[in-house]
Amino acid sequence: MATKLNVNLAPSGKNDLILQNPVMPASGTFSWGLEFAKHFDITLLGAIVSKGVTILPRSGNSQPRAVETPGGMLNSIGLQNVGVEKIIKEFAPQWAKLDLPVIVNIAGDTEEEFIELAETLGDIDGIDALELNISCPNVDSGLEFGQDINGAASVTRAAVRHSEVPVIVKLTPNVSDTRSIAKACEAEGAAAICAINTVLGMAIDSATGKPVFKRGAGGLSGPAIKPIALRNVYEVSSAVQIPVIGCGGITNGMDAIEFLMAGATAIQVGTASFSNPTATLDILSELTKWFNENNIKDVSDIIGCAQQ
């Protein structure tokens, strides 16, 4: 008997967010989702997650914007995107034809911008949920919302009140305690928590003696941050009652199993997709094989089993 894989990321909200399985890409690593359809059937995944969307188009930070590191990569993309108008006119109609949920990551410099994005995109056919990006380390403003309990709560409350679809809040690990911020977001109506975004890091160009990125620091992702992400998921999932999405350094099926055992209801695959475009599908396949080999009847049977 096949394992029951479907999960609900918004069980306490007015609208369910049901995924046929717990595997999806992480924002910023899967473009707009449609490009990967050239490599495999993306409707086999639990959901797709868009790049970060801002009100106006952004060209992003200057080059270089990515550099490899031992066990991962640093990036300083700067939320390059096409802007909300093109999302509505070009991408949403294509997403509406897909037989899987689409989660749109939104980023604003102010609470008012988050409200505008939530109002504009939170009632569009083809968009099933919003992911609040209050944790991107590669822009000048917006990150402070994710580093402050009151700021995170206020933006979450505003987005939830102005959106017709579930709101997921993506947390930064660059704080002393993600649990208190997660609880504040839960109290304001967040449907789920995504933990975590990238970890602040830096690379120096030895030839010039200067930071590789003009901004100095960038966001570290990949296998190097898996232990950090896993700890955050473990702690946050024990602190809140809403679902937690695990993200950070997942490269294979066993990584995904660990995150589910730590308390994640679903997982996101990020940097792995850069070197292997079918990483999400491969991880889903490995996950399914492990479930069958271990006679797991329902994915929920292992979610949080590592919690003491």
Structure tokens at 261: 């055992």
Residue pair 264/235 in contact (Cβ under 8 Å)? The answer is: no
| Residue that has been written with the tokens 């100095």 in this structure | 216
Residue pointed to by tokens 């996950």? 287
Q: Which two tokens stand for residue 215?
A: 């901004």
- How much is the CA Rg of the chain, to the nearest whole Å? 18
> Which ranges constitute the DSSP H helices of the chain?
84-86, 92-95, 111-121, 149-162, 178-187, 226-239, 253-262, 272-275, 279-293
Residue 171 near residue 196, CB atoms below 8 Å: yes
Q: Taking every pair of C-alpha atoms in the chain, what is the biggest distance, in angstroms?
A: 60
Short-list 73, 120, 236, CA closest to 169: 236
**For residue 257, what is the enclosing H or E element?**
helix 253-262
247 in active site: no
Catalytic residue among 136, 185, 194, 247: 136
User: Active-site positions?
Assistant: 136
